[in-house]
A and B are shown apart, each in its own frame.
Chain A
Amino acid sequence: MANAQPQTSGIKIAQPGWDSRTCPDYQLIFSSSWPSITIAFDQVVSGTTNSFGFLKFTVPHNLGFYPLTMAWQFSDSTQTAQLGRVFPDMDKTNVYFNSRIGQFTPNTTYYFNVKCFNLDISYPQSYTYLQSASFNTAYDASYGIKVAKSKKNVYSTDLRDFVLHSRAASPQVLAVITEQSLSTPITSGNTGKISFTNPQGYVPWLFAYVAFKNTDGSTYYAWAPPYSQSYPAVAINTDGKGTSTLTIINTATALPYGSIIALRDPLFVSTYQRVTY
C-alpha cells in the first residue's frame, strides 16, 4: 500500500502565534497535505420506476476513476426536504441508481442529489493519523485562507461560495484498503478478507465496496453495508479501536476486488447533545 508521506511542499497556514513549520496539526488552520474530502461531481438527477417499482438509471460522472459516491434522496420533486443518504453503484464513468438503494413505488419519479468525491476507492492509501484538538479556539475572521468558486465573490458571507474557507473543515481520509493488501490474489471460487484496524478511539466513518462485472465486462463497485446478512457486507468493529473486515469473493459476476475506506472527523471538537425522550 502506498503511504502518503507528509508533504514537504504545498500550502500550510497556522493559527496566529504558531509556526506552521513546527506546530501540531490541530494548531493549523489549513494544510494542503491533509487528505480532506473534496467534491469532484455534484448534480441533481432523477429517475422513474417501472410498473414493478424497480428504479434503474445511469448518471455519467466522467471522472476516470472509481469515486467514493453518495446520494441524497429528496422527498419529492420540490426538493424541499431530503430523506437521507444512499450509496449507488459506480464505475470509472458512471453512477448507477438501482433498486438496491431503497424501496420505491411503481411509476414514480424520484429525485436525488449525487456527489462523487475526489477519492479513488480502488487506489490504496494510508495517511498519517493527525492529532485532534482537545478544545476549540475562536475563529478569527481576519486570518486564514479562502478561495472563492469561479464567478463568486471572495467577500461573500455564504460559505457555499467557496472552494476552501478556513472557517470550515472537512472530514479526512485515514486509509483506503483494497485487495492489494492481500498477500496473494483471490483465485476463482475462493474468498479473501481485507481489514482495517482503527487508530482512533471512536467508531470510524467506514465505507466498504466490492466489485462486480458489468454486462459489458467492465468493473463496477457496489456499496457493502454494515448490516446486511448477505454479500456484500462489511463487519465493522464497534468498540472503536478494533479491526473491521470485508470479505471479497471471486465468482463469475463478483470480481475479486474490494475496498474499505476509513475517514476521520475534522480537526475541531464536536458539540454534545443529550436528549431524553
Chain B
Amino acid sequence: MAASDDNLMQVSQIGTTTKNAAGSQVTFNTKYPFAKLDKTNPVSFQNISIQFYTEPPAPSGTYPDIGPTTTLVYQFAHGYTYVPSTWFLMQVTPSSTVSYPPVNYQQEGTNAFFLYLGPGTGAGLTITTDATNVYFYVDKYYGGSFGLPNIIGYVLNIRAYVFVDDLSGK
C-alpha cells in the first residue's frame, strides 16, 4: 500500500456512517496512528516480578536525612534509540510481616507508594526511561517515626508496555 494521505481509509461502527462517525464510533482511520507494541521486541510487553531479598538503604531519619533515598533495583534495555512512551501497572504482594499495608495496588508505577507506615515514612517505586533503558528505582522515606520502611519479602508485579511510539509529538 502506498504512503497514506491522512484520510485514506476509515471504518466506523455498525449503524454509523463513516461520513458522520466521530470519536469512539471510528474503529479505524488512517489519520489516527495505532499505539504500537512491537510483537518482535521481547521487552515491549512484559510481566516483571521484582522480589526483594536485600534491603535497599533508607535515610537515617535524622533531619535533613529523611529521604528520599533512591536505589536502582532493576533496569533493562528497551531496544530503541529514542525515548519511548511507556505504561506500567504495579501490583504489590506485601510482606506478611506487615500487618497493615494500606496500598496493595497501584495503577501506575511512577512515584507510586507501595509501603506507607505513616507520614513521611514509606517506600515507593519510580520508573524512568531514557533513550536506552528503563530504570526502576525504590525511593525510601523515613522521618524517624513509625519504624523503618523495610521491604524484604515484598514482591512488585509490574505489567510493562514499551511502545514503539516516541514522545517527540511528531
A207 to B89, CA, bound (A): 11
Determine if B98 is an interface residue (Cβ-Cβ < 8 Å).
Answer: no
A170 to B74, CA, bound (A): 26
A34 to B43, CA, bound (A): 23
Q: Which of A50-58, A145-153, A245-253 faces chain B?
A: A145-153
Q: Which of B60-68, B80-88, B142-150 faces chain A?
A: B80-88
Size of chain B's interface in residues, with CB distance under 8 A? 80
Residue of B at shortest CB range from A158? B164
Chain B contacts for A165, CB-based, 8 A: 34, 36
- Contact present for B168 and A113 (CB under 8 Å): yes
CB-based closest 7 A-B pairs: A84-B110, A168-B36, A113-B167, A120-B23, A38-B32, A44-B169, A65-B23
Min Cβ gap B21→A in Å is: 11
Chain B contacts for A149, CB-based, 8 A: 3-4, 33
Determine if B77 is an interface residue (Cβ-Cβ < 8 Å).
Answer: no
A85 to B31, CA, bound (A): 24
Determine if A42 is an interface residue (Cβ-Cβ < 8 Å).
Answer: yes
Q: A38-B34, A123-B25, A276-B51 are in contact. List 20 more A-B contacts (CB 8 A).
A: A5-B14, A38-B28, A38-B29, A64-B23, A72-B85, A74-B83, A81-B131, A84-B126, A85-B88, A85-B108, A152-B3, A163-B34, A164-B33, A168-B34, A169-B39, A170-B35, A171-B87, A206-B107, A227-B105, A270-B46
Determine if B106 is an interface residue (Cβ-Cβ < 8 Å).
Answer: yes
- Contact present for A205 and B89 (CB under 8 Å): yes
A114 to B168, CA, bound (A): 10
Chain A contacts for B38, CB-based, 8 A: 159, 167-168
**Option from B31, B76, B111, B126 in Cβ contact (under 8 Å) with A273:** B76
Chain B contacts for A150, CB-based, 8 A: 3-6
Chain A contacts for B106, CB-based, 8 A: 226-227
- Contact present for B1 and A154 (CB under 8 Å): yes
Min Cβ gap B73→A in Å is: 5
Chain B contacts for A79, CB-based, 8 A: 83, 167-168
Min Cβ gap B13→A in Å is: 6
- Contact present for B35 and A171 (CB under 8 Å): yes
A80 to B82, CA, bound (A): 8
Question: Knowing A84-B126, A271-B42 touch, does A11 contact B11 (C-beta < 8 A)?
Answer: yes
Residue of B at shortest CB range from A270? B45
Question: Knowing A37-B35, A39-B33 touch, does A7 contact B11 (C-beta < 8 A)?
Answer: yes
Question: Knowing A39-B33, A118-B29, A238-B91 touch, does A80 contact B8 (C-beta < 8 A)?
Answer: no
Determine if A117 is an interface residue (Cβ-Cβ < 8 Å).
Answer: yes
- Contact present for A123 and B168 (CB under 8 Å): no
- Contact present for A118 and B32 (CB under 8 Å): yes
Min Cβ gap A66→B in Å is: 9
The proximity string for A residues 110-133 relative to B, scoring 1 for CB distances below 8 Å and 0 otherwise, is 000111011110010100000000
Which among A4, A167, A168, A266 has the highest number of chain B CB atoms within 10 Å? A168
